[in-house]
Amino acid sequence: MKKVDDYIDQAQHLPPAPTVLPQLMQLLGKSDVGSSEVIDLIIYDPALTASVIRTANSAYLGGRQQVTNLHEAVTRIGMSEIFKLVASVIGHREMSAQCGGYGMQSGELWKHAVTSATAAQLMARDLGDDDCLCFTAGLLHDIGKIVLTEVLEDIYTELVERTITQHVSLMEAETLLLGVHHAEIGARLLERWNFPETLVMSVRFHHSPSEAKPHERVAACVYLGNIISNYMGHNYGDLAFAQHGREDALKILGLDAEDVPKYMIKTFDQFERIEQLFCIDS
Amino acid sequence: MASPTLGIFAHNVVVGLADVVVSNSAGAVLATYSLGSCLGVAAYDPEARVGGLLHAMLPDSNIDPIKAAQKPGMFVDTGVPVLIRAMQQMRADVRRMQTTVLGGAQIMDNSGFFNIGKRNYDALLRAFRDFGLRVHREDVGGFASRTMYLHIENGKLRVKKSGQTEEIIL
């Protein structure tokens, strides 16, 4: 069996490191960050600049005078919203390809990622956790699937069969067939990119949050965000629901079962807005 | 008076998450995408040629009555009455209605904490009982999302499961 790093090395379409993201996160962590520092990060990326200006001028934020430059746009949108926007644009770029290895159509991984991120963020915000961090972790939790999809394309039928006949989760079937699963691959990828440990750990344990100590709260938000995204139909493949129910995710956050439907409703409200902002095709 | 040629111009009418759509336009195909643990509930009166489709997300509106007032289709208990009454206004008769229920996918070993798919289905049976309705065709549970299409012209119902290219006709 191949080693984890072999898969990452051999993936032909490995996503490039989204270097802006950790830098931006570091910036926003400071109490006195100026908008010019944020602008310096975005300004060299045409797609990001365009999205930021477009968002600032969207109906959702405005009706006021049109902004034409990045400086005005950043001021209008606000720092934490900027972060969400940048993370989403980068996510869209990395995750819009078709992933045959998971029975995924183009754009489905992205939709799943944004819905998970949104749900995770909403919970984190209410619970007093770092909501930008949870948004990013939610957005990146399945990034390992981009790496594994090429490998899995040839054995997808077997993966599906194994999951059903052996009554295991999709992730356990990955381990049976490849010796490694998408969450571990994703975590290794983020390590290579020098992402903060919280992100690495919450991606690695997004299917078993209590193992993510001391980052289990972020991992639990991502776990529940992922479940909510699946419930709402933003998922892909034959086996999106072939994963374990982890009651401890609720315990870690001090939530109860009835909070899950409540956050589905909140995510629904938020997602309508996001769809408008990004003009996602359904 | 509807033109008899209308049927050849088939067009999809998308029923979004938490929406209800009813139609008596022969050319319409009501489509709802990607039902996860949500339920897609279709009803069709073959005599009146009236059909309707609901995409409900949660079983019980008591969790958020304000939302239920704005968007009754979000909940099974408020969505089903809206679906049936809107069809009745188009002269559909409950006694003739053919019903199909799809969706309600479930994660593994759910201990009662994450069983929204099953609760949606139970809520549906209760809501149907109030109208004397029963489920004629169904494909619920399992691990995959479903997309469904209801043809108003003849009540034909197509289903596509996520990850599969083949459609099934129910």
Higher pLDDT, A83 or B139: B139
Which segment, A138-142, A152-156, A162-166, B152-156, is predicted with the most confidence on average? Answer: B152-156
Percent of chain A with pLDDT over 90: 35
Domain span at residue A223 reads: 4-15+97-278
| B161 strand-pairing partners | B146
Q: For residue A214, which amino acid is it? A: P
Most confident region among A12-26, A127-141, B24-38 by mean pLDDT: B24-38
User: Mean pLDDT over residues A8-20, rounded?
Assistant: 66
Higher pLDDT, A119 or A54: A119
Work out the pLDDT band at B64, boundaries 50, 70, 90: very high
The shortest C-alpha distance from A103 to chain B (Å) reads 4
Pairing of strands B11-14, B28-35: parallel
Residue A74 covered by a domain: no
Lowest mean pLDDT among A45-49, A76-80, A242-246, B83-87: A45-49
Q: Note the pLDDT of residue A61.
A: 60
Q: Mutate which of B143, B147, B148, B159 to test chain A, going by most A C-beta atoms within 10 A?
A: B143
- Torsion angles phi and psi, residue A69, rounded to 5: -130, 165
Asked if B145 and A104 count as a contact pair (C-beta separation under 8 A), the reply is no
Q: What is the pLDDT of residue A282?
A: 34
Structure tokens at A175: 């381990």
Tell me what pLDDT residue A39 has.
Answer: 81
CATH of the domain at A160: 1.10.3210.10
Grade residue A276 by pLDDT with cuts at 50, 70 and 90: low
Q: Which residues of A touch B (CB under 8 A)?
A: 102-103, 160, 163, 167, 169, 227, 230-245, 247, 250, 257-258, 260-262, 264-265, 268, 282
User: How high is the pLDDT of residue A123?
Assistant: 97
**pLDDT, tens digit, for every residue of A190-231?**
888 777 899 899 999 999 999 999 999 999 999 999 999 999
Question: Can you give the pLDDT at residue B154?
Answer: 95
Report the distance separating Cα B119 and Cα A251, nearest Å: 22
User: Could you say which residues from 9 to 28 on chain B have a Cβ atom under 8 Å away from some Cβ of chain A?
Assistant: 14, 16-18
Q: State whether B36 and A232 contact (CB < 8 Å).
A: yes
Residue A278 scores a pLDDT above 60? no
DSSP string, chain B: ---GGGGGS-EEEE--TT-EEEE--TTEEEEEEEESSSEEEEEEETTTTEEEEEEE-BS-GGG-HHHHHH-GGGBHHHHHHHHHHHHHHTT--GGG-EEEEEE----BT--SSS-HHHHHHHHHHHHHHHTT----EEEE-SSS-EEEEEETTT--EEEEETT---EEE-
Quote the tokens at residue A184.
Answer: 């571990």
Query: Which of A52-66, A169-183, B8-22, B68-82 reaches the highest mean pLDDT?
Result: B68-82
Going by C-beta distance under 8 Å and a sequence separation of 6 or more, which residues neighbour residue A153? A100, A101
User: How many residue contacts between A and B have a Cβ separation below 8 Å?
Assistant: 113
Instruction: State the smallest CA–CA distance between residue B147 and chain A in angstroms.
Output: 10
Within-domain flag for A236: yes
Nearest CA in chain A to B56: A232
Band of residue A139 on the pLDDT scale cut at 50, 70, 90: confident
Question: Does the residue A151 lie in any domain?
Answer: yes
> Would you identify the CATH topology of the domain B10-169?
60s Ribosomal Protein L30; Chain: A; (3.30.1330)
B38 belongs to the catalytic site:
yes
Q: Are A22 and A137 in contact (CB under 8 A)?
A: no
Q: Which of residues 68-87 of B touch A (CB under 8 A)?
A: 74
Pairwise CB contact (< 8 Å): B34 & A231: no
Give the closest residue to A203 by CA, choosing from A271, A125, A117: A117
**Is residue A133, in this structure, part of any structural domain at all?**
yes
- Please answer whether residues B81 and B127 qualify as being in contact, where contact means their C-beta atoms are separated by less than 8 angstroms: yes
Neighbours of A40 (CB within 10 A): 13
Q: Average the pLDDT over B4-28 and give the result.
A: 82
Q: How many independent structural domains does chain A possess?
A: 1
User: For chain A, what percent of residues have pLDDT higher than 70?
Assistant: 82
- Is A201 buried (19+), middle (13-18) or exposed (0-12) by CB count in 10 A? buried
Count the Cβ atoms, other than its own, within 10 Å of residue A230: 24
Q: Please give the average per-residue pLDDT across A77-83, as a whole number.
A: 76
Q: For residue B79, which phi and psi values (nearest 5 degrees)?
A: -75, -40
Predicted local distance difference test score (pLDDT) of residue B7:
45
| 3-state per-residue secondary structure call for A133-191 | HHHHHHHHCCCHHHHHHHHHHCCHHHHHHHHHHCCCCHHHHHHHHHCCCHHHHHHHHHH
- HSE-CB at B64 with a 13 A cutoff on CA atoms is 22
Which residue of the set B15, B38, B42, B82 is catalytic? B38
Average pLDDT over residues B123-152: 96
**Is residue A116 one of the residues assigned to a domain?**
yes
Q: Work out the average pLDDT over A78-104.
A: 71
- A244 three-state secondary structure: strand
- For chain B, the straight-line distance linking the first and the last C-alpha, in angstroms and rounded, comes to 30
Q: Which residues pair with B52 in a beta bridge?
A: B22, B43
* A32 vs A200 pLDDT, higher one: A200
Ordered by start, the domain boundaries in chain B are 10-169
Per-residue pLDDT at A99: 65
